[in-house]
Amino acid sequence: MDFENTPFKNPINPEDIINAGKKKLPELIKYLPLAIVALLVIIFIASGLYSVGPDEVGVIRRFGKYTRTTNPGLHIKIPFGVEKVDKVKVKYIFKEEFGFRTLKSGIVSRYSQKQYFDESLMLTGDLNAIIVEWIIQFKVKDPVKLLFNIRNPRDTIRNISEAVMRQVVGDNSVSEVLTTRRVELNIEVQKQLQNILDSYDSGIQIVTVKLQDVNPPDPVKPSFNEVNEAKQEKEKVINQAWEAYNKAIPAARGNAEKTIKEAEGYALNRINEAKGDAAKFNAIWRAYNSAQDVTRKRLYLETMHEVIPKAGKKYIIDPSQQGILPLLRLGESKDNS
């Protein structure tokens, strides 16, 4: 083998490497300040600059103490952990679901098949079991209070909401919770929940409380439906009776009022006619006393004026005529007369 032509013909000398490093070390030291400055700039950018989203605010803490709140945009804080920022969504509406869970929301939402009876199973004021599903929507009105006054805001809201809903449901009957007072229950729960959160100085505002679905438990649904059907039938019969009552009673009252008014009118008419006849008789009597012959003749003529038009055939006979019967031809029919 030819060892002269091998790579190990001129082996590397360690002293040469050390000498070359010593020659390049001053050059590296010359660029060290620039490297330190670049490193500091990178650290400053990484820990000193931060951005706040359009629906957020930034809460700045300096050594754990609140100092200021920043609006959406790009901002600077003291780096190296001196100031820390907590970004809180103040325009976003948060939602919590009780008794059910939405897996995917959309035009056709998908819900979890799991039963959450530990949240939804409640007892009403008339000692009936009922399953109540509801949602709560809330937003942050004071991010500083939210961060510094309460711990685990979501768990706090869920626990308070469940307690308040159980209290309100327990103060009402099952029929009120199912039908008649659902809107009032929403308002009452929202009011009580907001009062408790305000007492905690939590910085949270309740936007909506809404009952989603209220049903009796599955084992008692058939009996419950039968009771409801009986109540509905009862209400139907009562409403039909009131309908018949409202038709018959006003009609009877109207007829009675009509009869009374007719009687009053007839009585008034008879009284007025009697007064008129009496006044007429008195006037005739006074006229007769003042001129008996003239009055007697006038009464006779007035009577004839009324009677003669009503008579059929009229015969004018001479008072001195004797034997007038053949002239009258009384036995002939009217057609031959």
**Quick one: 60 and 102 in the same domain?**
no
Share of the chain above pLDDT 90, in %: 39
**Quick one: 75 and 137 in the same domain?**
no
**Quick one: 195 and 107 in the same domain?**
yes
Token digits of residue 66:
């609140």
Q: Write down which residue in 198, 216, 234 finishes a domain.
A: 216
Residue 78's nearest CA partner among 104, 105, 50 is 50
Work out the end-to-end distance of the chain between its first and last CA atoms, rounded to an integer number of angstroms. 185
Query: E strands along 18-93, which residues?
Result: 49-52, 56-62, 65-70, 73-76, 83-89
Name, of 29-43, 63-77, 194-208, 212-226, the range with top average pLDDT: 194-208
Answer whether residue 198 is part of any domain: yes
pLDDT of amino acid 178: 85
pLDDT of amino acid 2: 45
Q: Write down which residue in 89, 116, 146 finishes a domain.
A: 89
Question: Among 161-165, 235-239, 332-336, whose mean pLDDT is lowest?
Answer: 332-336
Q: Indicate the pLDDT class of residue 290, thresholds 50, 70 and 90.
A: confident
**Quick one: 62 and 142 in the same domain?**
no
- Residues of the domain holding 58: 1-89
The number of domains in the chain is 2
Question: pLDDT tens digit string along 220-240?
Answer: 778 777 877 888 889 899 999
pTM for the full predicted model: 0.59
Q: Indicate the pLDDT class of residue 22, thresholds 50, 70 and 90.
A: low
Average pLDDT over residues 267-293: 84
Question: pLDDT tens digit string along 72-108?
Answer: 998 888 887 888 999 999 999 999 999 999 988 877 8
Q: Which residues contact 150 (CB under 8 A, 6 or more apart)?
A: 156, 200, 202
Answer whether residue 111 is part of any domain: yes
pLDDT of amino acid 323: 60
Rounded CA-CA distance 295/211 in Å is 98
Question: pLDDT tens digit string along 42-67?
Answer: 777 777 888 999 999 999 999 989 99
Indicate if the pLDDT at residue 337 is higher than 50.
no
